[in-house]
Chain A
Amino acid sequence: MNRARTIRVEALTRVEGEGGLFIRFRGDRVDEIQLSIYEPPRLFESLLRERPLEEVPDITARICGICPVAYQMSSTHALEAALGISVSPEIGRLRRLLYCGEWIESHALHMFLLHAPDFLGFDNAWEMAEDYPDEVQGGLELKKQGNRLLEVLGGRAIHPINVAVGGFFRTPSREQITALISGFEAALKIAVKLTRWVARFDFPDFQRPYEMIALVHPDEYPMNAGRIASSESWSIDVEQFADEFEERQVPHSTALHAVRKATDSCYFVGPLARLNLNLDRLMPTARQVADAVSIEWPCTNPFQSIVARGIEIVHAFEEALSIMRDYQPVRPPRHAYEHHDGAGCAATEAPRGLLYHRYEIGADGLVKSATIIPPTSQNQAQIEDDLKAYVSQIEADDDVIASSCERLVRSYDPCISCSTHFLKVKLERA
């Protein structure tokens, strides 16, 4: 007789938000896996209805304290599409600069305070800091520089307040931006060194046949623009997102699961997907690091996402420096526009992956409807699929299985607060 056995992780640590993991075995076979997200729905889409469109960037930024810029970028671009605004290349570059700051601080937090302890046998960052003080200090320095950029350009490090539909409320002086350069130059060197360090970690041998999805752009590493592309060699305009992808409710989660409509299958978004699809658009030093690490691209080992994050930090410092060195304040800082009804969508690359927004607005400038599809809800079904494959290849006691599963989930850097929010693990055997 096949006995049922359940493993539960009640509280997955070192992720953003609150959720749980439930695994049920029947005999040695994995019967069911649920990434259960039980935080109450946050209802941002409803909250936005009938609000002036100018409030949307700051309201959606409140969805996340780690990646508020991503919400500001996707919302402003979607609203600008609805209003028929094209921002100037100068504003476009400044938005990329802001996004660089967010990628740096978000990736550095995850890599050095949350994820690296998993590979070195520590329970947390402060235990790791005792044996690896230079690496943790280095990681904190990267994060600090990212935060400084957000403060200067965004007005403050968390929930920046300077992003407006049409541009920025104000742009910093050349002196303010120039003052950041020396810190960024030093941090770039630290980022290269630390990325090489994490690339030498001992990674579990776990390759997956992913369909990876990310923006691609002919001229730049994707942040705010481009087509949505797949590792299966197809691509679509962002306007076709709803034709290709669909969010579905599942009973065990307050966050929706996204799937590809045509194949009814899950897909993978995030830094690894971006890198696999855009390797040739990396800045030169970032490309050198990608070539130097002993990883074959495209990489399909989710645990090696930590290396992809490091390479993206290098890219972000390098690109930020190139923008800062040529920087001149933008005049005027934003485009004027008239309200009219319309609809528009945009997808940008949040630190954790593709973030899609769509808005309908009225002639009175009020939001009629909003759709927000964050990367973590797009990755949820893929995480469950990965866990099923991963658990099947682990022969260990329940505690080891539970902690191994937590590590796999952490490699996605899930932001449950964004999808709606956290994580706990339960294993059940019968």
Chain B
Amino acid sequence: MNGPAPRPAVLIVGIGSHHGDDRFGWEVVDRLATLGPGNADDGPTAGMYGAMIALRKLTSSAELLNHLHGIRRLVICDACHGLSHAGEHRLLTWPTDRVDHLTGSGSHDFSLVNTLHLADKLNMLPLSVDLWVAEKSREQVLRRSIHTSLSPALAKAVEVVACKIEGEFVHA
């Protein structure tokens, strides 16, 4: 008899859209999915070296609130504004690092930072939340153009960030 699906211990989330550098979070998750079984849309992806790791691509940061139950470690990848140059990426830790200066749009003014504040207040966050952010290309932001691919700077950041996450979870 099949029991309920085991809950993942680690949730790695990419937030973004199909458009240009906003793809950053999704691309990191897609890259990670190639390193293990399943794909990013299949929900929990079992067996990445013993850990129960779920990969998810979300369109809206508020959606994150639907996926936090039982998670012990959360890793979020998202494009942002507020760093110095396109492609610059950082690992921030919630709630110790300052993130309020990072801007990103969210539907109905409900950004990722707002979502994390709310989840924190409701005790929905795991003890450890890593936030990988990468600065969008200024050219894409100014033109508001509908690129379908990442700028070269962000494409490079995807590889580096995916590699670092993989290093932590897969080779640990």
Contact = CB atoms under 8 A, between A and B. Distances in A.
Contacts of A147: 63, 66
Contacts of A40: 144
A155 to B, nearest CB: 10
A109 interface: yes
A130 interface: yes
What range describes how many residues of A lie at the interface? 20 to 34
B59 A109 contact: no
Interface in A60-83: 65-66
The main secondary structure of chain A at its interface with chain B is helix
Given A125-B114, A129-B118, A129-B122, A144 B66 contact: yes
A65 B114 contact: no
Contacts of B109: 13-16, 114
Interface in A353-395: none
Interface in B145-169: none
B121 A133 contact: yes
Contacts of B122: 129, 133, 136-137, 140
A158 B121 contact: no
A172 to B, nearest CB: 16
B110 interface: yes
Given A109-B108, A144-B65, A126 B118 contact: yes
Interface string B18-29: 000000000000
A130 B107 contact: no
Contact of A126 (B59, B62, B63, B117): B117
Contacts of A125: 110, 114, 118
B108 A16 contact: yes
A397 to B, nearest CB: 25
B140 interface: no
B114 A124 contact: yes
Interface in B93-111: 107-110
Contacts of B118: 113, 125-126, 129, 136
Interface of A: 13-16, 40, 65-66, 109-110, 113-114, 124-127, 129-130, 133, 136-137, 140, 143-144, 147, 157-159
Given A136-B118, A158-B60, 13 more contacts: A14-B109, A15-B109, A40-B144, A66-B107, A66-B108, A109-B110, A124-B117, A126-B117, A127-B121, A129-B122, A133-B121, A147-B66, A159-B59
9 contacts: A15-B109, A16-B109, A65-B60, A113-B62, A125-B110, A126-B118, A129-B118, A133-B121, A158-B60
